[in-house]
Amino acid sequence: MSTEHNVSGDGAERILNAAIKLFGEHGVRGTTLKSIAAEANVSQALIVHHYGTKEGLRSACDAYVADVIRERKEETLAEPQFDPLMTLRRLEQGRPLLRYLIRTLTEGGAHAAQLIDGMVADAKSYMSQGERDGVIKPSDTPHDRAVVLVIWSMGALALHEHVERLLGVDFLAENVPPESLQRYLRPALELFKHGLVEDGSFDHLAAFLGEEKSQGTTQTSHDDKK
């Protein structure tokens, strides 16, 4: 794993690699600085020097994972889906990053919220660029669309055991070809490319939602004049 973000020198990078691996395997509460130091082959004092506390190290791990996803936005945008976990799979150290994400999502808390918020902001940016490039359809609710896509993606990751059970797709498997993801990606691509319902279906619901949006806009306008 190599990055310019939040890493200064080989010792700091080894610490970050070790923390991501162990946090993903055992959780933050189940991982000690002593075990991270042993995994990284450094002293605990060096961890404290670079990251302060275990919480500081965890924040650095969060930032690293978010940066990796962000740096691959062009690769993600070039494909017919917006699934950060798919791009992570291609990295040499992708599996530890995915395990770390799973732990973060299932443990919840402020760290998970910050990570998800960053993903939503990035997804919104990706799709805005996609709209300008003529790849993505415009949305009346770009922020909410980004939220839903990220939640769907991260939900699949958090439920990865059931994805494997029902579709035979293992997000965490080592050394597997992209073809192994077909049963997950094909229906996802179908939904993105063709949609789900036939033209005319649920028009009444769409009209209702349009009216709700219009009323909300009118109410906001009235509130602004007060």
* Digit-coded pLDDT (tens) for 32-78: 999 999 999 999 999 999 999 999 999 999 888 888 777 765 555 55
Q: How far is the C-alpha of 164 from the C-alpha of 106, rounded, in Å?
A: 18
Label residue 8 by pLDDT band (50, 70, 90): very low
Q: What is the pLDDT of residue 81?
A: 45
Angle CA 88–20–84, to nearest 5? 20
Above pLDDT 90, what percent of the chain? 30
Q: How far is the C-alpha of 58 from the C-alpha of 220, rounded, in Å?
A: 40
Backbone angles phi, psi at 209, to 5 degrees: -65, -35
By CB atoms closer than 10 A (0-12, 13-18, 19+), residue 67 is middle
* Digit-coded pLDDT (tens) for 71-99: 765 555 555 444 545 555 555 567 788 88
Pick the most confident of 57-71, 80-94, 139-153, 204-218: 139-153
Q: What is the pLDDT of residue 220?
A: 46
What domains can be seen in the chain, in order of their start residue?
Answer: 1-71 (1.10.10.60), 74-218 (1.10.357.10)
Structure tokens at 223: 């509130």
Q: What is the pLDDT of residue 7?
A: 45
Q: What is the DSSP letter of 78?
A: T
pTM of structure: 0.72
Structure tokens at 83: 């699934």
